[in-house]
Amino acid sequence: MTIGLVGRKVGMTRIFTDDGDTLPVTVLDVSDNRITQIKSPDKDGYAAVQVAFGKRRASRVRKPLAGHLAKAAVEGGHTLREFRLKPDELAELKVGGKIGVEIFKVGQKVDVSGVTIGKGFAGVIKRHHFSSNRASHGNSISHNRPGSTGQNQDPGRVFPGKRMAGHLGNVRRTVQNLVVVRVDAERQLLLVKGAVPGSSGRDLVVRPAVKG
């Protein structure tokens, strides 16, 4: 199935293999993915499923969305996400049902999308990995400077896209081809090898790998 799940990054830990090797893994909580809408090619022009994740108080849900959720008899969540499907996969799903971690298998490759940790305003060395000049022999306070950014009289301007100091992090990124190490069906946890974007407690989207 090509559907994915919305989850929460619990944190990182490590597990040991049968050979005694240690593997760094990220624990993802993908519990309680509730189906709020099923879109079919006949009615909507494409096949997709919409899921809700997380908890939100009823007083915090806007009335149009509350009506949409009430129609599906689903509790409101803080995240709504849509996943494209193949039309023949819609028969396995129903509005109001849940999608569990069982759709993933150990050894499967997945793509994990999330928002990276924000680092605030950063210079070119930290943001773009520029090399610094030596901090001695009369270099004064220019050892961490970006260098020349302009041009000559022609064209006499800075080209768009020039790598300069600015905001670092807090952007959506996807890490591809992470291997599923363990599937905990009882606690609805997914353990993937390696690191994923974002800090602990942030929402993530886990999909089957598109290049796996």
Q: Is the pLDDT of residue 1 over 70?
A: no
Angstrom distances, CA of residue 77 to CA of 55, 103, 172:
4, 21, 21
Distances in Å between the Cα of 188 and the Cα atoms of 46, 64, 104, 144 are 29, 30, 11, 47
The rounded mean pLDDT for the chain is: 93
**pLDDT score recorded for residue 140:** 80
For residue 35, the model assigns a pLDDT of 95
Q: What is the CA radius of gyration of the chain?
A: 23
Q: Which amino acid is at 5?
A: L
Mean pLDDT over 113-139 rounds to 92
Exposure letters 126-136 (e unless 16+ CB within 10 A, then b): ebeebeeeeee
Mean pLDDT throughout 107-111? 96
194-208 per-position pLDDT tens digit: 999 999 999 999 999
Highest mean pLDDT among 18-22, 67-71, 96-100, 112-116: 112-116
pTM score of the predicted model: 0.87
pLDDT (0 to 100) of residue 177: 97
